[in-house]
């Protein structure tokens, strides 16, 4: 396998333009002769399918939900970045590029990151033209706010529902194309296999989730915009249905998977309340601007009411350990420290699986300083959400928070064109790995999804089709098509007919999730990772032996859907740990306990040995993937150390 990033050369700021100037185009009247499959209707897939359809391609779009509008992008709260510099605080494409690359701890690809920053402004224009109701100032112009990791206000937002509004914009554009007949939409349809003919991606096999029918769809190229794999940990802020199946099936067919161990843990989520909790809810990070984080100093105080713990017995651990940034340290630092205090037995809230996992986020000082009214104006909707979920009133008792799996920087390896290592297979949005390095800054995922969908894919897909020109027609009875369909039916049969059916998919998923959250979550070490790598194959074996799925494949069967997704997480989890073990450094969200500064607080990156993208190739044996390295070259920025002390 050869990893060629296909980046254009020359000055960074000219690369994207140059690439477009010299790329191949497809004649407008010829476009309808090409069929493009887009799997996913989130920001990346929805925007991509709508734009490609509008250009005249024959597009088929797929989503497992009942409507394209329900993709997980809908849940994003905080906002979307762009280098507009409307607030006149000195922002520029350069600064957005710099912040993104540095925030990613120099593990992203320079050309891609620059392009993302360059395209950002056009995204905002596009969205406003579609009617996305961004927040505005009294003068009627667009409002901005600041977000972690930046010194400028460059985040556009629509109350706490930015993802929803952006997705509805893309969804409406997509529906317009569906109405116009350029896009054929397949909802409640799940991709379960990739069809490759003569080494080139030519289609997908799906299961119609209503009838259970297994269908083959052939095309001239395939785009996967299927989101991230944060649910591998079972509990996460992702939607319940978010899964890795599409990407993982492609990986098994030859697409390299890059940097799987770069998983982001968000520090401010509502803690788990019990063993049967199904998901975790994110609370906007903005809360850390005014809330103070603490735990009791003494173990015997953890069950006391917070109001009964006097000031001198409270441990404001972030303020003490990081006096310069205090409660506003970056996501990974805040998360790890919460874990450490809870591991030390100082956590608060209910005991789940033998441990109290929660720290206080206290607004008492803020209420005293600003008044309840002002706090309500700033955070009212968040406080309300917190109360709805926990039944506690945060104006009276401190909130409890704990970190949760939130976003995955790793994903399918792609080149500058967003093409994977399988020709004709593209990956966009959270499903690919390229732009955020080892850590994503807040408000940058929405930007990347829309950049890929509205602006990158429409050009690079055309460039690909214009280059390959005419591909041989693939009939539905082609051996490769039949082979892919057979792989799907065999797997479904196996899921339905385990030898000793006794446990549910959720039980296995919880077991797997708890293991990797513990060994490969916020903080990782060699012994723990090795232990996980021994246990995962064992859980997987039990899964295939004991998985219990009632009903048949020929019906609406949500249990079967879930079991199939968990089966793929079982394999991805192993690659996650293999990658984490291989990366003997701490960078971004990946923290290896063996690699930290003398005082134990700071992560130690190793540029000499690990300044590369780890792209894993499936070898036929899940436990023995082959590592390929894409060296990262920084022509413009010299990697510097992240320090927040």
Ligand X SMILES: Cc1cc2nc3c(=O)[nH]c(=O)nc-3n(C[C@H](O)[C@H](O)[C@H](O)COP(=O)(O)OP(=O)(O)OC[C@H]3O[C@@H](n4cnc5c(N)ncnc54)[C@H](O)[C@@H]3O)c2cc1C
- The number of CA neighbours under 13 Å toward the Cβ of 339 is 21
Pick one of 119, 168, 225, 549: the residue that binds ligand X (CB under 6 A).
225
State whether the Cα torsion 487-492-496-501 is positive or negative: positive
Residue 412 — left, alpha, or beta (φ > 0 → left; ψ -120 to 50 → alpha)? Answer: beta
69 binds, among other proteins, ligand X, none (CB under 5 to 8 A by kind): other proteins
Say whether residue 148 binds ligand X (CB under 6 A).
no
134 binds, among other proteins, ligand X, none (CB under 5 to 8 A by kind): other proteins
331 is catalytic: yes
Can you say how many angstroms the Cα of residue 255 is from the centroid of all Cα atoms in its chain? 18
40 binds, among ligand X, other proteins, none (CB under 5 to 8 A by kind): ligand X
Say whether residue 51 binds ligand X (CB under 6 A).
no
For residues 289 and 390, which CB has a smaller minimum distance to other proteins in the complex? 390
For residues 72 and 595, which CB has a smaller minimum distance to ligand X in the complex? 72
Pick one of 123, 216, 282, 567: the residue that binds ligand X (CB under 6 A).
282
43 binds, among ligand X, other proteins, none (CB under 5 to 8 A by kind): ligand X
The answer to whether 331 touches 260, Cβ cutoff 8 Å, is no
Pair of tokens at residue 426 = 């593209």
Pair of tokens at residue 21 = 């100037």
> Which residues between 382 and 411 bind ligand X (CB under 6 A)?
406-407
Length of the chain: 645
Q: How far is the CB of 626 from ligand X (least distance, A)?
A: 25
Binding mask 607-636 for ligand X (x = CB under 6 A): ------------------------------
Considering the candidates 15, 31, 331, 400, report the single residue annotated as catalytic: 331
Binding mask 406-445 for ligand X (x = CB under 6 A): xx---------------------xxx-----------xxx
**How many whole angstroms separate alpha carbon 407 and alpha carbon 339?**
18
What does each C-alpha distance from 526 to 46, 139, 532 come to in angstroms? 41, 56, 10
Residue showing tokens 């191949």: 24
The answer to whether 335 touches 327, Cβ cutoff 8 Å, is no
Residue showing tokens 């509004």: 165
550 binds, among ligand X, other proteins, none (CB under 5 to 8 A by kind): other proteins
Q: What DSSP state is assigned to residue 456?
A: I
> Which residues between 244 and 273 bind ligand X (CB under 6 A)?
245-246
Closest by Cα among 94, 161, 172 to 126: 172
> Which residues between 160 and 199 bind ligand X (CB under 6 A)?
162-163, 190-191
Work out the number of other CB atoms within 10 angstroms of the CB of residue 368: 10
Pick one of 8, 40, 103, 588: the residue that binds ligand X (CB under 6 A).
40
Size of the site for ligand X (CB under 6 A): 45
Say whether residue 287 binds ligand X (CB under 6 A).
no
Closest by Cα among 564, 235, 122, 626 to 413: 626
For residues 162 and 327, which CB has a smaller minimum distance to ligand X in the complex? 162
The answer to whether 274 touches 296, Cβ cutoff 8 Å, is no
Residues interacting with ligand X, by CB under 6 A?
39-45, 62-65, 71-73, 75-80, 162-163, 190-191, 225-228, 237-238, 242-243, 245-246, 282, 406-407, 429-431, 443-446, 449
What are the residue numbers of the active site? 331
């Amino acid at each position: 396998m050869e990893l060629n990033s296909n980046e254009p050369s020359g000055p960074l700021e000219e690369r994207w333009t140059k690439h477009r100037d010299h790329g191949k185009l497809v004649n407008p009247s010829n476009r309808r002769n090409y069929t493009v499959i887009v799997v996913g209707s989130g920001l990346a897939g929805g925007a991509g399918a709508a734009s490609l359809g509008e250009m005249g391609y024959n597009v088929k779009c797929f989503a497992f939900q009942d409507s394209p509008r329900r993709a997980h992008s809908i849940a994003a709260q905080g906002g979307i970045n762009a280098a507009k510099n409307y607030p006149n605080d000195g922002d520029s494409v350069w600064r957005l590029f710099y912040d993104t690359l540095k925030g990613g701890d120099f593990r992203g690809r320079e050309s891609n990151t620059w392009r993302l920053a360059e395209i950002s402004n056009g995204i905002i224009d596009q969205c406003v033209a579609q009617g996305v109701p961004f927040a505005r100032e009294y003068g009627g112009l667009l409002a901005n706010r600041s977000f972690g990791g930046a010194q400028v206000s460059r985040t556009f937002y629509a109350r706490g529902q930015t993802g929803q509004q952006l997705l509805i914009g893309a969804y409406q554009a997509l529906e317009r194309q569906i109405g116009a007949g350029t896009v054929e939409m397949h909802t409640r349809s799940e991709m379960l296999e990739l069809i490759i003919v003569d080494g080139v991606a030519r289609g997908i096999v799906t299961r119609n989730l209503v009838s259970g029918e297994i269908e083959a769809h052939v095309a001239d190229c395939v785009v996967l915009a299927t989101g991230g794999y944060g649910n591998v940990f079972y509990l996460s802020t992702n939607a319940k249905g978010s899964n890795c199946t599409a990407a993982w099936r492609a990986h098994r067919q030859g697409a390299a998977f890059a940097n799987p161990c770069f998983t982001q843990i968000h520090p401010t989520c509502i803690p788990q309340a019990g063993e049967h909790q199904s998901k975790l809810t994110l609370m906007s990070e903005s809360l850390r601007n005014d809330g103070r984080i603490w735990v009791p100093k003494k173990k015997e105080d953890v069950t006391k009411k917070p109001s009964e713990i006097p000031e001198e017995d409270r441990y404001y651990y972030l303020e003490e350990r990081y006096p310069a940034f205090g409660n506003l340290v970056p996501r990974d630092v805040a998360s790890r420290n919460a874990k450490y205090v809870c591991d030390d037995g100082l956590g608060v809230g209910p005991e789940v699986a033998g441990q109290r996992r929660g720290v206080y986020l206290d607004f008492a000082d803020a209420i005293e300083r600003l008044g309840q009214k002002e706090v309500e104006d700033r955070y009212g909707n968040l406080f309300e959400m917190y109360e709805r979920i926990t039944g506690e009133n945060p104006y009276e008792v401190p909130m409890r928070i704990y970190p949760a799996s939130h976003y995955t920087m790793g994903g399918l390896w792609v080149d500058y064109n967003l093409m994977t290592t399988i020709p004709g297979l593209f990956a966009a949005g959270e499903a690919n790995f390229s732009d955020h390095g080892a850590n994503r800054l807040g408000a940058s995922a929405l930007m990347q999804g829309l950049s890929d969908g509205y602006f990158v894919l429409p050009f690079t897909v055309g460039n690909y089709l214009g280059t390959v020109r005419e591909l041989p027609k693939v009939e539905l009875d082609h051996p490769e098509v039949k082979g892919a369909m057979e792989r799907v039916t065999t797997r479904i049969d196996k899921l339905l007919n385990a030898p000793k059916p006794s446990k549910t998919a959720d039980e296995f998923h919880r077991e797997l999730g708890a293991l990797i959250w513990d060994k490969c979550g916020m903080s990782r070490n060699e012994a723990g990772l090795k232990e996980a790598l021994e246990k995962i194959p064992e859980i997987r074996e039990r899964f295939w032996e004991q998985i219990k799925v009632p009903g048949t494949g020929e019906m609406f069967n949500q249990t079967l859907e879930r079991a199939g997704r968990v089966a793929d997480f079982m394999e991805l989890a192993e690659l996650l740990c293999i990658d984490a073990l291989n990366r003997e450094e701490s960078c971004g969200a990946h923290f290896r306990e063996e690699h930290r500064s003398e005082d134990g607080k700071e992560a130690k990156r190793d540029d000499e040995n690990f300044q590369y993208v780890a792209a894993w190739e499936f070898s036929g044996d899940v436990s023995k993937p082959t590592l390929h390295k894409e060296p990262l070259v920084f022509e413009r920025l010299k990697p510097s150390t992240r320090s927040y002390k």
